[in-house]
Amino acid sequence: MSEKISIKPRAMMYPAPAIIVSAYDENKKADACTLAFATMCSHKPPCVMIAINTTAKRKTLKDILLNKEFTLGFPNTQQVTETDYIGIASGYDKDKLEKVSWTTTESSNINAPIINELKVSLECRVINIVEVGSHTQITGEVVNIVADKEVLDDDGRISLKKLNPIVYDDVLYDYFEVGEKIDDAFKPGLKYMK
């Protein structure tokens, strides 16, 4: 057994995503911000949870709390520059989407903008909000998903390799791509079921 050492407490997750949430402000202007604090959190109904810094200057948080609806999109590795910028800049100072030349279409299900350049977007209706620590945890029920055909497999399901999402490292502050498939899920472990 190798030696274990204690290191300073901090939040970490391996892997963490780099996703983009988007919402309308009070003037129906689309805003967006990049987040790494996001996870699936319920099967029935299907939900995702995002956590946004409560005290930081986050226009998108204000907009989501206003509308109780948002979209969550997955940028790909070719969009890392835009994704990084949307995480750095504030929607109070700049029209971030215009700055990166991204466009939006209003969802036909919720009052939130879908970023056209993102290949997959979840349309979410807020069903729970709770402040914990420095962040506001927002659970959104996924009421619809829009996807570009090019990221779907022959059965109409999203292909991770075609989507090519960004992996974010919040410790060394790097972006990675997803690599090779190493195994099927719910299969290798069956050898221990005998």
Residue 129, strand partner residues: 138
**Residue where the block lists tokens 């506001």:** 136
Ramachandran angles phi, psi of 33, nearest 5°: -145, 150
Select from 24-32, 58-66, 159-167 the region that touches a copy of itself (CB under 8 A). Answer: 159-167
**Residue type present at position 96:** K
Q: Which of 25, 37, 62, 68 binds a copy of itself (CB under 8 A)?
A: 37
Shortest distance, position 59 Cβ to a copy of itself, whole Å? 16
User: Which of 27, 187 has the CB closer to a copy of itself?
Assistant: 187
Binding residues among 46-75 for a copy of itself as defined by CB under 8 A = 46-49, 51, 53, 74
Nearer to a copy of itself, 111 or 143 (CB): 143
Q: Does 159 bind a copy of itself (CB under 8 A)?
A: yes
Q: Give the interface size with a copy of itself as a residue count (CB under 8 A).
A: 109
Residue with tokens 């410790």: 171
CB of 15 to a copy of itself, least distance (A): 5
What is the C-alpha separation between 156 and 181, in angstroms, rounded?
Answer: 20
Q: Closest distance between a copy of itself and the C-beta of residue 124, in Å?
A: 9
The Cα 173–Cα 187 span in angstroms is 33
Task: Give, as ranges, the residues between 3 and 32 that touch a copy of itself (CB under 8 A).
Answer: 3-17, 19
The Cα 72–Cα 52 span in angstroms is 13
Residue 154 within binding range of a copy of itself, rule CB under 8 A: no
In whole angstroms, how close is the CB of 61 to a copy of itself at the nearest point? 14
Give the three-class secondary structure for 86: helix
Strands 120-132 and 104-106: unpaired
Contact between 113 and a copy of itself per CB under 8 A:
no
Residue 118, classed as helix, strand or coil, is coil
